[in-house]
Structure 1
Amino acid sequence: MTEITIAGEAFNVRLEGDEDKPVLALAHQLGGSLAVWEPLMPALLEHFRVLRWDSRGHGGSVANEGPYSVAQLARDAIAIFDALGIEKADWLGLSMGAIVGQAALIAAPERIGRAVLANTAAKLGTPDIWNDRILAAREEGLEAMAGAVAARWFTQEFREADPEAVEAVLFILRETSPQGYAAASAALRDVDQREAIRSIRNKVLVIVGRHDPSAPPELGAFVASAIEGARLATLESSHISHIEQPDAFVEAVIDFLTAPEAPARRPAAARKAAGRRARQRIARRAPIKAPAKKATAKKTAAKQAQRRKAPAKTTAAKQGAPKKARVAKTPAKKSAAKAPVKESAAKKAVVVKKRAATKSPIKSAKSKPAATKKPAANAVARSAGKKPPSISRAARKPPRRR
């Protein structure tokens, strides 16, 4: 433990870990102390030099008459940085400690690196709720409040499963000065940072407990939505999430605080200006091809005109083609049906003689041309020195049966 005096007021402070590691500042909840972070210290010290202190009105720090303000509590934190020669530190705050962290990010963003704000809100509760707690703390003491506080801070399942962890946190609450608790409660009653947090540009992670009645998850979700680029993580816990879900809590915190820096994006106006300059450079380098464009336009017009005319011709051709095909195919089918299977010239002559001898009723007009035309055609072909026309494949093959 180290006692630091700031403007004549004493603060209980502890700074631990390797001096070469980045500093992480831990700010506790209302009714807590720096001891509430003890279960997380082994994991955090692997990555950070850890700074803890008892907030004004709590633990071993000054507990003067209030009321306090959240801005005053944030100034206390920055004054502790100065006293220890810490130029900049990351921030991990729980409940009241996260609300004080918001105020530090607003007032002195250059002194804070990344910030984890757990189980928090920009405005928490109503004046009536806080006035009742202030009155109860002053008149009844924190021992009488412990049972109701435990029901808000931890789920029933956790209270039954790990009563020792719950009792350790409640012990710190009971040891808190009633005057200091009441003065800090007044600070939370009066604070409203719902608009001011929109100016925060630091990297922020907001952690909420799904079963938290003290700082319902929708209040934390609002903080994450109001801070540009902030992330939101939800744990299956109540208000004191780092005790109820320590593994998930530590993993979320360390992953966020140690993640490598992403390359900074230029503002939108700068990106647009760069885009315009690039387009201008491309336009200056591109060759001018206006004549080619005109020729292309003429060719396109000619093609379009041909396409407009082509359908009419094609349609006419399509309409006429079937008729011609039918006319041409009909005799072919008849002749193919009547075409005799391949016969020798001697057989044909015998058939003709038999028909003439028996006085066949078949007219000579159908038989004689077949006998007389072929030799004439062959004779003409021989005189011209050409071979006689061969029979087509269709004529040589027998007709197909249907």
Structure 2
Amino acid sequence: MDSFSFLTTTDDARIAYRLDGGDDKPTIVLSNSIGTTLRMWDGQISALTRHYRVLRYDARGHGASSVPAGPYPLARLGHDVLELMNALDLERAHFLGLSLGGIVGQWLGVHAPDRIDRLVLSNTAPWLGPATRWDAPIAAVLQADDMMATAETFLRNWFPKQMLEATDPLVDKFRAMLVTTNRHGLAGSWGAVQEADMRGLLVRIVRPTLVIAGEHDTVTAASYSVQMAQAIPGARLLVLPAVHLSNIEFPERFNDEVVRFLRAPT
């Protein structure tokens, strides 16, 4: 599983990526949330590779990718995707992003619509409050002795109580991702969230878009998804009874809905 290829970006970051599925199929790019790696999509690969070649990558500052000095501008995260696509001779691709990956997807939909076929924005938001609200979390993670407390906070925000109390192996998998995330990568990525305000730009997204919300999401509340689906012309809204990681809590429904959307007639 842990075999990667690497791209060196124009600003000398090293981005780890992986391709699954036949190269005769259209490509979908998967973009992960803060504090995770491309393995957050393991539960989607079997379903997606029936129809698509799947390009996953570790966002800068995460997993096997390098950890440049932050903060990471949102445009830089978007250009990481475009440079990956360029290196792989992908003129266009579908894009599925969750949380921060969904913010990157919004940026791509606005600024690079000619590179995107269909867009899936899961458990994300166009804006997550005033920039100053992120100052304290960024300072705290940089000053902490380790990532343990940060990891537990994330897990409480990502999973329902019953999964946390049952010592679910999926929770353990994400705990392992979080505690091994470089704090500077996490803080740098929060910088992108801190600057993100796509609210006035969503109307410029012209690609077919599916917005997926978690009914019980306390990180990117479902109300944000409703606003996004109303603002993006022709967007479709799907609300799952999930917290923040809809693809983990309800993988079969998530996979079915994504594939149905991507394969629907235009």
Scaled by the length of structure 2, the TM-score of the pair is: 0.95
> Does 2:154 match 1:149?
yes
For 1:182 and 1:201, how far apart are their aligned partners in 2? 32
Match of 2:200 in 1: 195
For the residue of structure 2 that corresponds to 1:232, the secondary structure is: strand
**Higher RCO structure (Cα 8 Å, ≥6 apart):** 2
For 2:178 and 2:129, how far apart are their aligned partners in 1? 20
For 2:162 and 2:240, how far apart are their aligned partners in 1? 15
Match of 2:262 in 1: 257
Q: 1:3 aligns with which of 2, 6, 11?
A: 6
May I ask how many residue pairs the two structures share in their alignment? 261
> Does 2:83 match 1:83?
no
Indicate the larger mover: 124-133 or 252-261.
124-133
For the residue of structure 1 that corresponds to 2:220, the secondary structure is: coil
> Does 2:218 match 1:213?
yes
The aligned runs of 1:51-70 (5 Å cut-off) are 51-70=55-74
- After TM superposition, give the deviation of residue 3 of structure 1 in Å: 1.2
> Does 2:52 match 1:42?
no
Amino acid at match of 2:49: L
For 1:242 and 1:126, how far apart are their aligned partners in 2? 28
Give the unaligned 5+ runs of structure 1. Answer: 262-402
- After TM superposition, give the deviation of residue 113 of structure 1 in Å: 0.4
Tell me which protein shows more strand as a share of its residues: 2
For 1:127 and 1:15, how far apart are their aligned partners in 2? 35
> Does 2:209 match 1:204?
yes
Match of 2:243 in 1: 238
For 1:48 and 1:208, how far apart are their aligned partners in 2? 23
> Does 2:107 match 1:103?
yes
The aligned runs of 1:278-317 (5 Å cut-off) are none
Tell me which protein shows more helix as a share of its residues: 1
The aligned runs of 1:13-32 (5 Å cut-off) are 13-32=17-36
CA deviations 1:278-311 (Å, max 9, x no partner) are xxxxxxxxxxxxxxxxxxxxxxxxxxxxxxxxxx
For 1:176 and 1:129, how far apart are their aligned partners in 2? 22
CA deviations 1:108-131 (Å, max 9, x no partner) are 100000011000110013334321
- After TM superposition, give the deviation of residue 160 of structure 1 in Å: 3.2
For 1:124 and 1:170, how far apart are their aligned partners in 2? 24
CA-atom RMSD in angstroms: 1.2
Q: 2:125 aligns with which of 101, 118, 121?
A: 121
Amino acid at match of 1:260: P
The aligned runs of 1:274-353 (5 Å cut-off) are none
Amino acid at match of 2:197: D
Kept in 2, the 8 Å contact 1:158–1:244? The answer is no
For 1:128 and 1:103, how far apart are their aligned partners in 2? 21
For the residue of structure 1 that corresponds to 2:64, the secondary structure is: coil
Amino acid at match of 1:147: E
Scaled by the length of structure 1, the TM-score of the pair is: 0.63
For 1:102 and 1:35, how far apart are their aligned partners in 2? 22
| Greater C-alpha Rg | 1
CA deviations 1:156-213 (Å, max 9, x no partner) are 1232356211110121111111001001101101110101111111000000000000
Q: 1:186 aligns with which of 169, 172, 191?
A: 191
Against the structure 1 CA distance between its residues 158 and 126, is the aligned structure 2 distance closer, same or farther, given a 3 Å change threshold? Answer: farther
Kept in 1, the 8 Å contact 2:13–2:68? The answer is no
Give the unaligned 5+ runs of structure 2. Answer: none
CA deviations 1:74-121 (Å, max 9, x no partner) are 011001100111110000100000000000111110000001100011
For 2:13 and 2:98, how far apart are their aligned partners in 1? 24
> Does 2:141 match 1:137?
yes
Amino acid at match of 2:143: E
